[in-house]
Every structure is written in C-alpha cells, then in structure tokens.
Structure 1
Amino acid sequence: MNTIKINHKDQAKNYFMEGYNCAQSVFLAFSDEYDLDSDTILRISSSFGGGMGRLREVCGAVTGMFMAAGMIFGYTNPRDQIQKSEHYTRVQYLAKKFEEKNNSIICRELLGIDNKRDIPVPEERTKEYYKKRPCFELVSMAAEILDEYIMEQKGEKVWQDQQNGEE
C-alpha cells in the first residue's frame, strides 16, 4: 500500500469536479491502494452515486469510502467471524466519523431533499450545480477520513502531524 504518495482528499474532489459520481470519486481516489484498473473501479462504484442510484439513501461518498476500506482492509473468509466483526466495526467507525462532521450519512438529508427518491436522470454539471451541492466537499471529507484511518492503522499519525505543521 502506498498511502502517503497521493493526496486522496484532493484527488476525490478533482474526480467529482470532472463529473464522476460521489462513490466513483472516492473509490477511484484510492486506486493506488489496490490492484484494480480504473475502468473496473468506475463500473463497480457507478451504481452508488446519488445515494444509490439517486434513491438518496446512503451518501455515495460514504459508500465509496466503505468500498475503498473493503479493498484495503476487508475480509474474504465468510466463516471468519472475527475478521467480519473487525471489518464491520471499521465501517461503523468510518460512518460515525463522517456523521460527526455532517450529522448524517444519508444523501437526501445531506442535500436537504424532502422526497424519499429522486428521478433517475442526473442533473447536468453546471456552475449552478456545483454552487448548490456540497458533494465535492463530502467526497473530499470522506477521503480525508479514510486517509486518517489508514494512517492511524499504519502508525503514521506522526507523518500527518508533520504535514499539518504540528511537529
């Protein structure tokens, strides 16, 4: 894993500004952490934008963060209850960190949308779109939360403090 080489936070934001959905933006930002090609990453995560296909459920940025965490830390043995529990604990921790900053992990709540579901047609990405949507901030935040978690797991908290000028 090459956790430190890429600024995942800025990368996720840039991908979103290029037009990728929230889940794609975060999952793709961490592509240096796993052995998947960009096309596969984008296809896997394409269904999760707009809170899962614009159903406005769990935020795509959060889902992208969970997918990246699964690729980096996930389990493969369906009978290993310890690994499953550890991973679900990890997912809940990441969700809690996101929720602490945003009061929710639900897309419609984050966007202030009243309807439970949205039309399946995505909005055109215009200057007005980017002005009214906090999504670029949310993908950046999700990537930052996962980066912090990865660094903590690898004992790289010292590196982060140095980068923030807190020596």
Structure 2
Amino acid sequence: MNRIDEACNLFENGYVCSQAVFGVFCEEFGLSKNDAFKIGACFGSGMRQAEVCGACTGALMAIGLKYGEDKETCNRLSNRFFEEFAKENGSFICRNLLECDISTPEGVKYALDNNLFKEFCPKMVASAVKITEEIFEE
C-alpha cells in the first residue's frame, strides 16, 4: 500500500486527518506510529477550531521530524508546503476548504449532511501526503 492509500485508510478508520498524514511518515524518521498518533491527536478539524487543515498540520509535523534541526530549511519547506497545498486546493484553512465552520455544531451537521468527512476530507489527506512526498524527494 502506498502512503496516500495508507493515510486515507487510516482516516477512514477513525484517525483524524493530522494523525493519518503524520502517521505514514513517522516511522521513517524513528517515531512510532503510536507516538505519532498521540502527537497528532489534537490537530484534526483545524485544531478543533476549523483553522489550519489537520492534514496540513500532519504534514508539517513530518517535515519537522525530518528537518527540525535546521530552522531555515523548516521555514522554507513549510512555506512551500502551504503554497503548494493552497495552489492545489484553494486554501489551507479548514473552514474555507469545507465551506463551513466545523468548530460549531451547525458546521459539523452541515459537514455530516453533505458527506464532507467521507468524500472531501480524504482528498485533503491525499493532497497533503502527495505534496510532502514531493518535498521529501528533492
């Protein structure tokens, strides 16, 4: 299974977007999946505030895990990640991507009624993994 499929599978099986993305990169850099899932647990749904998409925060955690000892490289690659993600998806802010605010009960209801968590969010997970892989391959 490739990373994109694995991340989407994790997301579809109950892990939040940040956990799903971070979880497919962590072991390569010496962190267990269990620890990655713990670290990423509070970053789903835009940090529970519909802010920066959790798939993006999971990707940034992976970038930090690989390049974290070099602040300049981390900053450059984080900026690049956000630029690529926004170019591909229109934004990196959860409420803008979903066109609803899932930090509110009404927003969650809208997202559920419109199958956003099942049909839209996996695309964001896949996008974040793809862009992170591209960054790592350079």
| TM-score for both structures, normalised by structure 2 | 0.86
| Residue of structure 1 in register with 2:94 after alignment | 107
Matches within 5 A, 1:73-112: 73-75=67-69, 83-112=70-99
Q: Distance in 2 between matches of 1:140 and 1:67?
A: 16
Mark the CA change 1:110 to 1:44 in structure 2 (over 3 Å): closer, same or farther: same
Which runs of structure 1 show a deviation greater than 3 angstroms over 4 or more consecutive aligned residues? 128-133
Give the structure with the higher percent helix: 2
Q: Distance in 1 between matches of 2:38 and 2:28?
A: 17
Mark the CA change 1:132 to 1:21 in structure 2 (over 3 Å): closer, same or farther: closer
Counterpart pick for 1:72 among 66, 75, 82 = 66
Mark the CA change 1:16 to 1:58 in structure 2 (over 3 Å): closer, same or farther: same
Aligned-residue CA RMSD (Å)? 2.3
Matches within 5 A, 1:1-167: 7-53=2-48, 55-75=49-69, 83-113=70-100, 115=101, 117-119=103-105, 129=115, 133-152=119-138
Checking the alignment, whether the CA contact within 8 Å between 1:23 and 1:48 is kept in structure 2 is: yes
Mark the CA change 1:29 to 1:116 in structure 2 (over 3 Å): closer, same or farther: closer
Checking the alignment, whether the CA contact within 8 Å between 1:111 and 1:133 is kept in structure 2 is: no
Q: Distance in 1 between matches of 2:117 and 2:37?
A: 25
Name structure 2 gaps, 5 residues minimum: none
Checking the alignment, whether the CA contact within 8 Å between 1:51 and 1:59 is kept in structure 2 is: yes
Give the paired residue count.
134
Please tell me whether Structure 1 or Structure 2 has the larger radius of gyration of its CA atoms: 1
Q: CA deviation at 1:33?
A: 1.5
Q: CA deviation at 1:98?
A: 0.4
Q: CA deviation at 1:31?
A: 2.6
Q: Distance in 2 between matches of 1:150 and 1:106?
A: 23
SS in 1 for 2:58: helix
Name structure 1 gaps, 5 residues minimum: 1-5, 76-82, 153-167
